[in-house]
Structure 1
Amino acid sequence: MKSVQIACLLVLCSLASSGHAVGLDHSAAAQAPHNKDAVVDAQRARLSAMAPGVPVQCKQDAYGNPACTVDGYQVDLSECGDDMLYGAVVAKNGVTLTDAVNSGHPVARLANKQFVCIEATATKDKQERYFVKAVPVESVARCKGNDLCTQGNQPVQWIRPATGSACRRNGNAVAYTGDCAAGWVDKDTLEEFSMGLAGSED
């Protein structure tokens, strides 16, 4: 009799454990949409800061990934990590950064060969605009000993007031603090680097 009781207790414990495990799976499944919503909200906030006062729309695409538009442009966001998108200005007279994806007001002028991080790419019909940030080459590990970065630190001509605080990387994070000139430019004013700062293959 005792053996039967023990067997029954084991079965009940097994069922209880299974039910608890299923409950955890349901909880994780319930959290997944909220996590994706948080990503979409974060991207919307980033784009709103990149293009203040301009309509920004973000939603999940069919695969659950963020899909954003800014003033009619399809926009993809990136970061300033070591394996992300970087580039250099290739305009003889430099280039003016603006505060809106479609023209906007001037923020600063970057000199030819200035090294930049590419934080967003925007496409509308045949137009391509990039949101770039001028960052010091010494803040990017893969710039060390890399010829692509040799002349990347150029003087920034500020059009808007600056605080005087040097642009610097925030520890090991992908974020920067200080006066980092950032804004929108035409794609053809840049040479793109990527994946270990290899040169463009175009």
Structure 2
Amino acid sequence: MSPFRLSCCLAPLTLALAACQPSPAPVADTTPTASELTAASSTTGQTDLNGLIARAGIRCDSSPASVNSTDCHAGNGYAIDLHPDCADDGFFAASLGPQAVPLAAQPGAEASGQLPGNQFVCIQATARRAQAPDYYYVQAMDPAQVPACAGDATCQAYRPAAGARCSLSQPQGCVSGWVPADTLEVFSNGIGAALPDDSPLQAADSAWQVRDTVRSGDGRFQLQILARPDDPQAPRSVRLQTVQDDGRVHELARNDRLVPCERCGGLAGDPYAYSRFDDDGLEIVIGGGSRQRWSSHTRWRRPTHGQQWMLEWVQREVVDTQTGQQRSQKLAASALGSPHLADFDPSTLPPAPLLP
């Protein structure tokens, strides 16, 4: 799995950064029922978003802020993306290895706490200067509280410490704060879902190697990013597939222009950032550059009744990592001819925004 796929007011993070120190756990099992999980999922809204903004020390120019806000910031010039849901559409990860991870009140700030090793977390905000994430705001979670983890072997490998059962509806007292993006193993929406070894796609495309596999939360769709190891300058191949009940896949669309080659990101490295499914569609994000970092974020609408996956919008940004100056551009699909995923060609887009 790859890091993936995915923004905002004010208040310093204090007690939330301390190690998880809840009240003594009751004897009774507090694992929520299915109906309680559904209720917790449905309550993720403006109140929860405002609480996240306050805890994470985020500033937003718009009021009220929403998960679609593009004017939210934190720390020293980091742009913020918000994804507060820790239920069905959550963005989940775990700290890498047994060692504790430094936890801070602001992205880029000095550590003031620790996230335990092998800790399952919900990622609620992303801080970046280009499109690739630099820091994540995380909250410790018990995977038993997460509907997507039901019966998933990957989730079962991660548990919070004894007495630290962090729930969807009562996160108080659970470890939370900003951690470096490279200290987490980020899961796809399908958590531990993977392409079967006997997949016909693997055999039919022996010249390609899979670099990333992301599944939708309901398991119906899968996106793969493939590369040609014999030609590192070749663009990656994007494959969108349906997943059958027996685990075999059927290709819906292929695009060999959307994701640049692994060496085409400049000093920033590999330009492929992440892909992410949600209930309504799919996001694919790339970025690169050096002092001036560029990014391109494409959004694809989930079809109904056998239609094709069509472009919703393209958002492109450039930011000066030293001055914080930035420019952005959002292009509606209607202005681009509403292309399908298989037909989209980034070279036909209008000029990208530039900085002096």
Q: Do both proteins adopt the same fold according to a TM-score greater than 0.5, normalized to the shorter chain?
A: yes
Q: Which amino acid is the alignment partner of residue 73 of structure 1?
A: Y
Normalised to the residue count of structure 1, the TM-score between the two structures is 0.60
Residue 115 of structure 1 aligns to which amino acid in structure 2? F
**Contact map agreement 1:166 1:179 (CA 8 A) in 2:** no
Greater share of residues in helix: 1
TM-superposed deviation, 1:121: 0.6
2:190 to 182, 196, 199: 196
Q: 1:89 to 1:105 in 2, by over 3 A?
A: closer
Matches for 1:60-71 after TM superposition, within 5 Å = 65-67=68-70, 68-71=72-75
Q: Confirm whether residue 118 of structure 1 aligns to residue 123 of structure 2.
A: yes
8 A Cα contact 2:87 2:147, kept in partner: no
| Superposition pairs of residues 167-182 of structure 1, within 5 angstroms | 167-170=166-169, 176-182=170-176
Aligned residues: 145
CA shift, 1:87, in A, is 0.7
1:20-75, Cα deviation, whole Å (9 max, x unpaired): xxxxxxxxxxxxxxxxxx96x98566323212xxx723338xxx941211131111
- The answer to whether the Cα contact below 8 Å between 1:129 and 1:185 also exists between their aligned partners in 2 is yes
Q: Is the 1:142–1:196 contact (alpha carbons within 8 Å) kept by the matching residues of 2?
A: yes
Tell me the alpha carbon deviations over residues 151-202 of structure 1, each in whole angstroms, 9 at most, x when there is no partner: 211438xxxxxxx8742232xxxxx333211111111111111323246638
Runs of 5+ unmatched residues, structure 1:
1-37, 157-163, 171-175
- The answer as to whether partners of 1:91 and 1:190 remain within 8 angstroms in 2 is no
Query: How much has 1:94 moved relative to structure 2?
Result: 2.5
2:60 to 57, 60, 64: 57
| RMSD between aligned residues | 3.1
Q: Distance in 2 between matches of 1:183 and 1:50?
A: 7
Identity in percent: 28
Return the TM-score normalized by structure 2.
0.36
Residue 57 to residue 177, structure 1, CA distance change in 2 (3 Å) = closer
Relative distance call for 1:147 and 1:107 in structure 2 (3 A) is same
Instruction: In structure 1, give the amino acid aligned to 2:179.
Output: V
CA offsets 1:91-137 (integer angstroms, 9 cap, x no match): 442312222112244233311x2111000111024761001111011
| Counterpart amino acid of residue 80 in structure 1 | C
Q: After superposition, where does 1:16-27 map in structure 2 within 5 Å?
A: none
- In structure 1, what is the equivalent of residue 300 of structure 2? none
Q: Following the alignment from structure 1 to structure 2, what is the Cα–Cα distance between the partners of residues 165 and 153? A: 9
Equivalent in the alignment of 1:46: 52
Q: Does 1:97 align with 2:92?
A: no
Task: Please give the secondary structure, in 2, of the residue aligned with 1:145.
Answer: coil
Aligned-residue offset at 1:80? 0.7
- Contact 2:137 2:178 (8 Å CA) reproduced: yes
Q: Which residue of 1 aligns with 2:81?
A: 76
Larger radius of gyration: 1
Q: Which structure 2 residues correspond to residues 121-132 of structure 1 after superposition, within 5 A?
A: 121-125=126-130, 128-132=134-138
Whole-Å separation in 2 of the counterparts to 1:147 and 1:58: 42
Separation of aligned partners in 2, 1:94 and 1:165: 16
* Residue 146 (structure 1) shift: 0.6
